[in-house]
């Protein structure tokens, strides 16, 4: 969908930008977290921001690949086309994905083969948010929030124009990548347009083996128009289209592809200087999402999702010394799907067939160990409505900063079996409405003592189960597994403690964090000791048990002299259930450590690092361990500065020693090892 239009627009953008000359220079003195409006150094709970320049130096294009160099973040890869971040061992619905502060509203948390519809090809920065500020995005973000910030919305005038073009090629997968962005402003109006096109073939692993079904093809376009008043009020509209097509590695080397497509509409309004209120920021998003899962060129799975979100935040600058933000958030998501070996031209509708409200005969006949299997129609149509109210506050105190946050949510899930043949339906009561009320509280505090900054964060957060966690009962070709339903799932509650330490010396900076999460009713996808009765695939079911997570992160940046910097990174996480013979939770990231050097001199920059992934033997029941491996990376860049523009030439080598390894947090670790030696050459032109 939209493929030809996207390619045409992307090519046109490249021609426009290449023909342009120069623009007004813009300088930023401090890094700002766009999702919260705060300066990075002015938050109690540490946040991490990856700049555009830092993203360029990373290997890969998915959000998971770009962020996995940060301590505590792993990449839940699914072949080469999917990379969803895992933070401190927490993934799925516990890590929210956002674009400019509103939900990405894809289905990436539903299954590991679904790519997040968040692409950083033209992002200004990626933000990893922890602590009280996660309550701005919804309940249940125990791991954190990943926010992608770009320039489709402008809040200050732009006089003139500015732009960027980047192009690169890579060796391990014969990849090509072209992206471009352009902003132009005149008077009160500012317009933004960007686009990208990316493609790759099957990649090679560290042992020289070509991994079949790992090719990918993607393209996207964003267009934004903004009107900015002299008093600072700003209003904007944006439309974006994003298409992916990527292969899914599998044991039989069958041609299995996933093709998600999304049309996104955004509106944003910021109004200042109202009576009793400093600022009101209102955002509205509507998303039309669809993806097909093809097997030997037949669409055997079809997912159709429409989402709407409304969020408004009122800000006060000084109420008894507090900076306060009170917000209301509403969203509605409609999910429909089809599963049919003969093909899914559309979502089926069997409303014309009579049904007496009893469980279907075909469903009852497919029973293994007392568990009912439904093959053809895995899930009813569902409508999920969320209504939330949040309050985030902060203030200075004698020794640092204090932040408080509270949020209340109500989730209602409505299920309609109209897409399921009556002979495969459960009893009518199975589809009754489900309502969950959740409450979350969070507090963070810092102490500044000379060059030290100590932080303490505590929280009690709740997450309601998602519709797919409760209702999915069917085969899933893209993951080569069978997913069982569990409508008995209830609220998940987490109590967490996070301690941080930052030391800023003259020549070096040191950061460390230790954390502990205590879960009541932790929801996890458990691998069963059985296979499904249809194809013999592994069987999973979302279960709910008490669990705990603990871990630590550490990093050091030491300036040897004005040109050279040495750095180290390390993280460890332990995740277990509180009861059972084997308490280990599945896909827990192994210990990792990184060391390297950076060099800056004039127009040159260079970096080299070695990242070590330890073996992971603390595995869940029916889960296989992974061996240790390391990855050696190099990056170099030269910037040619002209009168009002610049050209940067860069080269990077990932896994230079061609090491073989398996990513333990990936469902496909047995079929899709990590990418082998990959040389990437690129050029970036800014004006």
pLDDT digits (tens, 9 = 90+) for 319-352: 888 999 999 999 999 999 988 878 889 999 999 9
Question: What is the pLDDT, as a whole number, of residue 487?
Answer: 94
Give 228: exposed, middle or buried? Use CB within 10 Å, 0-12, 13-18, 19+: buried
Question: What is the pLDDT, as a whole number, of residue 1?
Answer: 43
List 14's β-bridge partners, or say none: none
Least confident interval from 114-128, 532-546, 615-629: 532-546
CA distance 668 to 622: 15
Q: Is the pTM of this model over 0.75?
A: yes
Give me the mean pLDDT over the 112-123 stretch. Answer: 93
pLDDT band at 296, cuts 50/70/90? confident
Cβ within 8 Å of residue 579, ≥6 positions away? 545, 546
- Report whether 191 contacts 185 (CB < 8 A): yes
Q: Residue written as tokens 């944006």?
A: 238
C-alpha angle 95-96-102 in degrees, rounded to nearest 5: 170
Give me the mean pLDDT over the 556-570 stretch. Answer: 96
Give me the mean pLDDT over the 180-203 stretch. Answer: 97
Question: What is the pLDDT, as a whole number, of residue 43?
Answer: 59
Question: What is the pLDDT, as a whole number, of residue 20?
Answer: 34
Question: What is the pLDDT, as a whole number, of residue 6?
Answer: 41
Q: What distance separates the 2 farthest-apart alpha carbons in the chain?
A: 79
Question: What is the pLDDT, as a whole number, of residue 137?
Answer: 92
Give me the mean pLDDT over the 291-308 stretch. Answer: 92
Give me the mean pLDDT over the 127-134 stretch. Answer: 90
pLDDT tens per residue, range 510-542: 999 999 999 999 999 888 888 887 778 888 899
Question: What is the pLDDT, as a whole number, of residue 5?
Answer: 38
580: pLDDT strictly greater than 50: yes
Give me the mean pLDDT over the 388-405 stretch. Answer: 93
Give me the mean pLDDT over the 634-657 stretch. Answer: 96
584: pLDDT strictly greater than 90: yes
pLDDT band at 166, cuts 50/70/90? very high
CA 103 to each of CA 98, 308, 329, 547: distance values in angstroms, whole numbers, following the listed order? 4, 10, 11, 27
Please, what's the b/e burial string for 8-30 (b: 16 or more CB within 10 A of its CB; e: otherwise)?
A: ebbeebbeebeebeebeeeeeee
Give me the mean pLDDT over the 395-408 stretch. Answer: 92
CA distance 590 to 572: 7
18: pLDDT strictly greater than 90: no
Question: What is the pLDDT, as a whole number, of residue 35?
Answer: 58
Give me the mean pLDDT over the 193-222 stretch. Answer: 95
Give me the mean pLDDT over the 409-413 stretch. Answer: 98
CA distance 90 to 589: 10
Q: What percent of the chain has pLDDT over 70?
A: 91
370: pLDDT strictly greater than 70: no
CA 471 to each of CA 4, 94, 260, 381: distance values in angstroms, whole numbers, following the listed order? 36, 19, 22, 10
Question: What is the pLDDT, as a whole number, of residue 25?
Answer: 29
CA 585 to chain centre: 21
Least confident interval from 21-30, 326-335, 622-631: 21-30
Question: What is the pLDDT, as a whole number, of residue 203?
Answer: 95
13: pLDDT strictly greater than 70: no
Phi and psi for 40 in degrees, rounded to 5?
Answer: -55, -40
pLDDT band at 364, cuts 50/70/90? low
In a 3-state reduction of DSSP, which class is residue 103?
strand
Nearest-CA neighbor of 87 among 100, 103, 99, 70? 70
CA distance 226 to 218: 27
Question: What is the pLDDT, as a whole number, of residue 111?
Answer: 83
Question: What is the pLDDT, as a whole number, of residue 532?
Answer: 81
Give me the mean pLDDT over the 630-640 stretch. Answer: 97
Q: Residue written as tokens 């896909």?
A: 587
Question: What is the pLDDT, as a whole number, of residue 276?
Answer: 82
Token pair recorded at residue 330? 């509403």
Select the highest-mean-pLDDT range: 11-20, 182-191, 313-322, 338-347: 182-191
Question: What is the pLDDT, as a whole number, of residue 622?
Answer: 84
Give me the mean pLDDT over the 570-587 stretch. Answer: 94
Question: What is the pLDDT, as a whole number, of residue 3?
Answer: 44
pLDDT band at 366, cuts 50/70/90? low
pLDDT band at 601, cuts 50/70/90? very high
Q: Domain extents for the chain?
A: 3-686
CA distance 553 to 85: 16
Question: What is the pLDDT, as a whole number, of residue 375?
Answer: 59
pLDDT tens per residue, range 211-262: 999 999 999 999 999 999 989 999 999 999 999 999 988 888 888 899 999 9
Q: What is the homologous superfamily of the domain 3-686 according to CATH?
A: TonB-dependent receptor, beta-barrel domain (2.40.170.20)
Question: What is the pLDDT, as a whole number, of residue 28?
Answer: 29
Nearest-CA neighbor of 682 among 244, 55, 163? 55
Least confident interval from 218-227, 476-485, 637-646: 476-485
Give me the mean pLDDT over the 450-472 stretch. Answer: 94
**How confident is the prediction for the chain on average, in pLDDT?**
89
Question: What is the pLDDT, as a whole number, of residue 372?
Answer: 62
Give me the mean pLDDT over the 311-326 stretch. Answer: 91
């Amino acid at each position: 969908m939209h493929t030809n239009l996207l390619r045409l627009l992307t090519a046109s953008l490249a021609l426009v930008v290449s023909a342009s000359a120069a623009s007004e220079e813009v300088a930023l003195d401090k890094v700002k977290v766009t999702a919260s409006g705060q300066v990075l150094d002015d938050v109690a709970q540490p946040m991490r921001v990856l700049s555009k320049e830092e993203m360029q130096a990373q290997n890969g294009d998915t959000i998971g690949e770009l962020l996995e160099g940060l301590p505590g973040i792993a990449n839940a890869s699914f072949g080469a086309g999917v990379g969803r971040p895992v933070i401190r061992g927490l993934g799925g619905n516990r890590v929210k994905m956002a674009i400019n502060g509103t939900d990405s509203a894809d289905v990436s948390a539903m299954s590991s083969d679904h790519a997040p519809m968040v692409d950083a090809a033209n992002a200004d920065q990626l933000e990893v948010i922890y602590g009280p500020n996660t309550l701005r995005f919804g309940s249940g973000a125990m791991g954190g929030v990943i926010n992608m910030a770009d320039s489709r919305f402008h809040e200050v005038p732009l006089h003139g124009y500015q732009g960027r073009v980047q192009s690169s090629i890579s060796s391990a997968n014969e990849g090509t990548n072209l992206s471009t962005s352009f902003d132009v402003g005149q008077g009160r109006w500012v317009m933004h347009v960007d686009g990208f096109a990316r493609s790759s073939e099957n990649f090679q692993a560290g042992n020289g083996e070509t991994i079949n079904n790992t090719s990918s093809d993607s393209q996207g376009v964003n267009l934004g128009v903004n009107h900015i008043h002299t008093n600072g009020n700003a209003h904007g509209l944006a439309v974006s289209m994003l298409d992916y097509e990527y292969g899914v590695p599998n044991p039989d080397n069958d041609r299995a592809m996933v093709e998600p497509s999304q049309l996104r509409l955004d509106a944003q309004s910021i109004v200042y200087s109202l009576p009793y209120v400093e600022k009101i920021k209102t955002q509205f998003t509507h998303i039309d999402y669809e993806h097909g899962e093809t097997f030997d060129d037949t669409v055997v799975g079809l997912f159709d999702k429409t989402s709407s979100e409304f969020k408004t935040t009122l800000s006060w600058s000084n109420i008894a010394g507090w900076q306060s933000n009170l917000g209301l958030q509403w969203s509605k998501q409609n999910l429909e799907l089809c599963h049919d070996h003969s093909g899914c031209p559309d979502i089926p509708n069997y409303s014309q067939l009579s049904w007496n409200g009893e469980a279907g005969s075909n469903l009852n006949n497919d029973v293994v160990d007392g568990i009912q299997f439904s093959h053809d129609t895995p899930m009813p149509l569902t409508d999920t409505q969320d209504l939330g109210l949040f309050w985030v506050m902060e203030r200075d105190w004698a020794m640092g900063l204090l932040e408080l946050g509270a949020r209340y949510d109500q989730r209602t899930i409505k299920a309609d079996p109209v897409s399921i043949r009556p002979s495969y339906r459960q009893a009518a009561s199975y589809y009754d409405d489900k309502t969950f009320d959740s409450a979350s509280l969070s507090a963070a505090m810092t102490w500044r003592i000379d060059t030290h900054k100590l932080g303490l964060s505590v929280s009690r957060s709740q997450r309601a189960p998602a519709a797919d966690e409760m209702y999915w009962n069917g085969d899933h070709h893209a993951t080569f597994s069978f997913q069982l339903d569990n409508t008995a799932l209830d609220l998940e509650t987490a109590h967490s403690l996070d301690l941080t330490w930052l030391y800023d010396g003259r020549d070096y900076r040191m950061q460390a964090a230790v954390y502990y999460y205590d879960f009541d009713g932790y929801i996890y996808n458990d691998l069963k000791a059985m296979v499904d009765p249809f194809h013999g695939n592994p069987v999973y079911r979302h279960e709910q048990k008490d669990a705990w997570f603990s871990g630590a992160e550490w990093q050091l940046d030491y300036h040897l002299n004005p040109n050279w910097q040495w750095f180290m990174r390390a993280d460890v996480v332990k995740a277990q259930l509180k009861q059972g013979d084997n308490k280990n939770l599945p896909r827990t990231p192994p210990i990792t450590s990184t060391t390297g050097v950076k060099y800056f001199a004039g127009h040159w920059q260079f970096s080299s690092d070695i990242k070590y992934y330890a073996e992971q033997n603390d595995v869940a029941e029916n889960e296989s361990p992974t061996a240790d491996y390391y990855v050696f990376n190099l990056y170099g860049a030269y910037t040619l500065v002209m009168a009002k523009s610049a050209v940067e030439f860069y080269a990077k080598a990932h896994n230079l020693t061609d090491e073989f390894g398996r990513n333990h947090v990936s469902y496909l670790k047995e079929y899709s090892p990590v990418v082998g030696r990959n040389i990437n050459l690129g050029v970036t032109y800014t004006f």
